[in-house]
Amino acid sequence: MRYVLSAILFAFSIAITPGVAQPQAGVNEIITRAEKGDPDAQIELGRRYAEGRGVRQDHAEAARWYQMSAEQGNAGAQVLLAQCYEHGRGANQDYTEAVRWYRRAAEQDSPDGEEGLGFMQEYGMGVPQNSVEAVRLFRRAAEKGNPTAEARVGLAYEDGRGVAQNYTEAFRWFRKSADHGSALGQLSLAEMYKGGKGVQQDAAQAALWVRKAAEQADEIAQVDLGIMYAQGVGVPRDNTQAVSWFRKAAGLGYDKGQFNLGSAYYYGMGVPQDFREAFRWFVKAANQGNGASQFALGQMYERGEGLEPDMHEAVRWYRLAASQGNAEAQGSLGFIYLRGKGVERDYIEAGSWFLTAAKQGDAYSQYQLGAMYETGNGVSKDIAAALYWYGKAAGQGEEDASRAVRRLSALGIRPRVPSVPGSIEGRQRAHENPDAARQLTLAEIERLLKNGVPSKRIAEMVDRFGVSFELSREAEADLRKLGADHNLLVVISSRRK
């Protein structure tokens, strides 16, 4: 289940243009009171520095005033200071310090402090990982009405971490969170309605809750709602509405919003077909590492859609997408090398890309592998092996493969699992797992998720390479947006030495 932690709003991150002073009403009085040691004035002055309201925006000054107030026991300031340390904003990132200040706030029964401490506990940031303790803290905060904590209790019940899995309880907590305005809770509730988990499946209710999150400018919800309009799921099919929501998400810089908006222009869905506008949005998304957009750009350069054909650029974009696991791009590279389109013909390279994509279930590449075994291009001719790959493709409805299966089967040939030449297998392994030759970074994990690589497979890679990361709240939110499940998030954070 995909979640978006876009509902977490920090007092220091309100969208005001940096460095632009706002009206000065009351600022001088607040400064005077703060300098005299008034903790309420100190936290207010810190907020103003963080937001640039009436003073020059300065996160370090914000943190300094938060600290003054926090040291006097102001729980709100303690939470804000913890957030500064957690995110490295206005202070050096320090999870131990973040935990210390969250804990001090939690000891005063601050629900925000409890939720923050629970988050750190859940992912082992500055404190040993402990899901049971995290749920206890989330529940304490939730019982005080903290909407993010309510959603996190729901997530715990849904995933069965720290508590026994219980969809009915998950739904109950998501509903509480959603009713209190949390986009995380609203999206989580929508997913329960979509999947019929803990409640009867209801696409209309799912759309209703996705809309509530989308109207809070949650970019993932905006894309989800656009897709629901495009597909007519829970709402009447309406491509104009779909494009409207894609455009909102794209305007927020979300790569999937940009990709979907580019696709709308490419196909003329809800807007007049416009390859140049499609190209513009695909470039924006591709430059953020969106593999689907990189593949789309490769196709546009190969076909000359809205621009001059350029096989060099086509191959470059295909390679970027293919390196992230995009099977269509891998199959396209296989065909380019098979035919020698703008590159020197190379059957070994073609076979390695086809094999990489075929192992991901790409029917086109499975058919092409069958053809290579039947003709003996790049491999030893093996009709039984050809039939094996034709059968794989035919099982997915590939018509040419189905005809090939009927033709070879009529000759009495039985399929056999092929042996792969070492030259092809070696290259294929490098294509399939590019991280074998380079460090597996958090950015690489994000790119793999964007291209639909399952969380379970990525978790296996993380475990195999023994890498680990300091998983901040923002990083956790980004990974959840991309479809990371809880197990992957825990594996990423819990392997730290």
Residue 93 is predicted with a pLDDT of: 92
Rounded Cα–Cα distance for residues 232 and 431 (Å): 37
Kindly state the percentage of the chain with pLDDT values over 70.
Answer: 85
pTM of the model: 0.75
Residue with the larger pLDDT of the pair 25 and 151 = 151
Longest dimension (CA), the chain: 95
Rounded Cα–Cα distance for residues 398 and 72 (Å): 70
Res. 10 pLDDT band, cuts 50 70 90? very low
DSSP per position, 164-200: ---HHHHHHHHHHHHHTT-HHHHHHHHHHHHHTSSS-
Q: Name which of 9-13, 241-245, 253-257, 379-383 the model is least confident about.
A: 9-13
Residue 421 is predicted with a pLDDT of: 73
Residue 465 is predicted with a pLDDT of: 54
How crowded is residue 311: how many other Cβ atoms within 10 Å of its Cβ? 15
Which residue type sits at 410? A
Rounded Cα–Cα distance for residues 458 and 447 (Å): 11
60-106 pLDDT tens trace: 999 999 999 999 999 999 999 999 999 999 999 999 999 999 999 99
Q: What three-state secondary structure class fits 58?
A: coil
Does residue 435 have a pLDDT over 70?
Answer: no
Kindly state the percentage of the chain with pLDDT values over 90.
Answer: 75
Query: For residues 156 and 163, is the Cβ–Cβ distance under 8 A?
Result: yes
Mean residue pLDDT across the chain: 88
Which residue intervals of 183-310 are DSSP H helices?
183-195, 203-214, 219-231, 239-251, 255-267, 275-286, 291-303
Residue 484 is predicted with a pLDDT of: 81
Residue 314 is predicted with a pLDDT of: 96
Q: Name which of 232-241, 428-437, 462-471 the model is least confident about.
A: 428-437
| 363-367: Cβ within 8 A, 24+ apart | 363/392, 363/393, 363/396, 363/397, 363/398, 363/401, 364/331, 364/393, 364/398, 365/327, 365/330, 365/331, 365/334, 366/390, 366/392, 366/393, 366/396, 366/398, 366/401, 367/393, 367/398, 367/400, 367/401, 367/404
Residue 460 is predicted with a pLDDT of: 67
Res. 450 pLDDT band, cuts 50 70 90? low
Pick from 386, 412, 413, 414: which is nearest to 400 by CA? 386
Residue 430 is predicted with a pLDDT of: 64
Rounded Cα–Cα distance for residues 220 and 213 (Å): 9
Residue with the larger pLDDT of the pair 65 and 460 = 65
Query: For residues 313 and 443, is the Cβ–Cβ distance under 8 A?
Result: no
Fold of 274-428: 1.25.40
Tell me the domain boundaries of the chain: 274-428, 441-494
Rounded Cα–Cα distance for residues 76 and 84 (Å): 13
Query: For residues 45 and 37, is the Cβ–Cβ distance under 8 A?
Result: no
Residue 427, token pair as written in the block: 């290259």
Does residue 462 have a pLDDT over 90?
Answer: no
Q: Name which of 211-225, 334-348, 389-403, 446-460 the model is least confident about.
A: 446-460
